[in-house]
Amino acid sequence: MFRKLRRVLCAVAAALVLPLAGVHTADAADAPGAGYWHTSGRQILDAAGQPVRIAGINWFGFETGNHVVHGLWSRDYKSMIDQMRSLGYNTIRLPYSDETLKSGTVPNSIDFSGGKNADLQGLDSLQVMDRIVAYAGQDGLKVILDRHRPDSAGQSALWYTSSVPESTWIADLKALAARYRGQDTVIGIDLHNEPHDPACWGCGDTTVDWRLAAERAGNAVLSVNPDLLVFVEGVQTYNGVSGWWGGNLMGVAQYPVRLNVANRVVYSAHDYATSVAQQPWFSDPSFPANMPGIWDKYWGYLFKQNIAPVWVGEFGTTLASTTDQKWLAALVSYLRPTSTYGADSISWTFWSWNPNSGDTGGILKDDWQTVDTVKDGYLASIKAPLFPGTGGGSGGGSGGGGGSTASCSAAYSVSSDWGGGFNAEVKVTNTGAKAISSWKVTWTWSGSQQVTSMWNASYTQSGATVTAVNAAHNGSVPPGSSVSFGFGGAPGGGGAPSVSCTAA
């Protein structure tokens, strides 16, 4: 079934938003994610052979007529990356079009007032991409470059069009691979977004066989940067069985992608809910219990049979319908909770960070600052440990330091209160001289308040006393840095109690 194109709303927002505080990982020698990555069976391994899990977010815009990530009309790019990290996302999938690489392509809709985005002034689109990659690396986020479109006009079924031939596609992939050679923040390239009919897999016709095209492009990328991962999406239809654009990897079992450098292929699937388009499985009487079988058939078998790593490069929904809510809960469970399986899990990047994806919305709300805590909360169990940064970033701290006492403080603030309920946030700050690996926050309400949901932490409540402990992805906090968690409660009107924090 064809998936409708996302409606991108590019109206420029005028709100002035203050940068948010970021966090950085400790400089622990054994922190997962360092260096370039490779594959082994179904796992992605870092340079030291430690398994890692991509748990990230899509931030689109370079592929549109703005020629730059969206939201910079409202905020500084560094504050956005800091906020991604504070929420526990460890990777950015960065869509672009081949127009981005054309000489003289310049970004538009960037606000420079009040000192925002000051270091982006006068740069072309690729130079802005350089700054985003560099700052993401400082913050400890990895980047996957995604060839999303041949030009800003829209997505294409095949990897080439009449105006952007295969030769241009491959030349541009090689140019990006060479540009970021030696910068292990960029771990790989997603060769082409959502191939769909008439694209085939394994049919042998070089004009439409996506598997053969992926081999040509993947080998070209590795010829100039052999350390990169090559992310290969599926097609729409295989042997008469259709699914989401880019979401059908059934053909890999018979026709795997063969590259000249071993252990570099990660297969990528896309999966969506009814806010994007209807599919027959949503109306099955057994829904959502039928969904694991659907995912097994299209792409999950690659992971379960230890054939190759799987990365769900896009999935998203407005969450407006009960069906979509059940779908997202089922998919999150299928991807495997980090607390149970660690990095032996399916990787992912959620669509999207941007609120202006018309058929899914985003993690941010329309003001480009407020977090959709319900949507983000669905993802809490599959977020994964953060990666070591390259230094600098928003906090400038590097971890380490002298002293041996782990200590922390916590600040409780109510973000909204409507009488019947409320939302609150707690900011945890490492006040000691060395990195902490875990934290616990406790408070006691004076009234009858009860926690109804919590994200980026887990909790227990006994009477009026609540104890919250870090999630797997945000327990490590360097000296002077902070992480946050949030929750909903009821009833409202309770004010802010005093809180205590202990660290280890």
Cα dihedral sign, 181-151-69-388: negative
Which single residue is written with the structure tokens 């069976």? 41
Residue with the two structure tokens 């740069």: 123
Give Cβ neighbours of residue 347 (< 8 Å, ≥ 6 apart).
Answer: 44, 53, 54, 55, 266, 309, 310, 311, 312
Question: Which ranges constitute the DSSP H helices of 184-270?
Answer: 210-224
352-365 burial code (b ≥16 CB/10 A, e <16): bbbbbbebbbbbbe
Structure tokens at 276: 């994007």
233 is catalytic: no
CA atoms within 13 A on the CB side of 464: 11
Q: Is the dihedral of CA 237, 241, 246, 249 positive or negative?
A: negative
Asked if 63 is an active-site residue, the reply is: no
How far apart, in whole angstroms, are the C-alpha atoms of residue 474 and residue 157?
39
Q: How many angstroms separate the first and last alpha carbons of the chain?
A: 51
CB distance 148 to 193 below 8 Å = yes
Residues 6+ apart with CB under 8 A from 358: 6, 7, 8, 9
Measure the CA angle with vertex 87, ends 456 and 319; round to 5°.
80
Instruction: Spot the catalytic one: 63, 194, 215, 233.
Output: 194
Report the alpha-carbon distance of residue 371 to residue 363 in Å, rounded: 6
**Alpha helices, DSSP H, located in 371-412:** 373-378
Provide the 10 A C-beta neighbour count for residue 77: 23
Angle at alpha carbon of residue 244, lines to 238 and 246, rounded to 5°: 70
**DSSP symbol at 11:** P
* Residue 324: closest CA among 391, 375, 250, 358: 375
State how far the Cα of 18 lies from the Cα of 169, in Å rounded to an integer.
39
Residue 2 CB coordination number (10 Å): 12
List 63, 99, 215, 314, catalytic entry = 314
Structure tokens given for 104: 């003289």
Helices assigned H by DSSP within 296-382: 301-304, 322-335, 338-341, 373-378
Catalytic residues, which ones? 194, 314
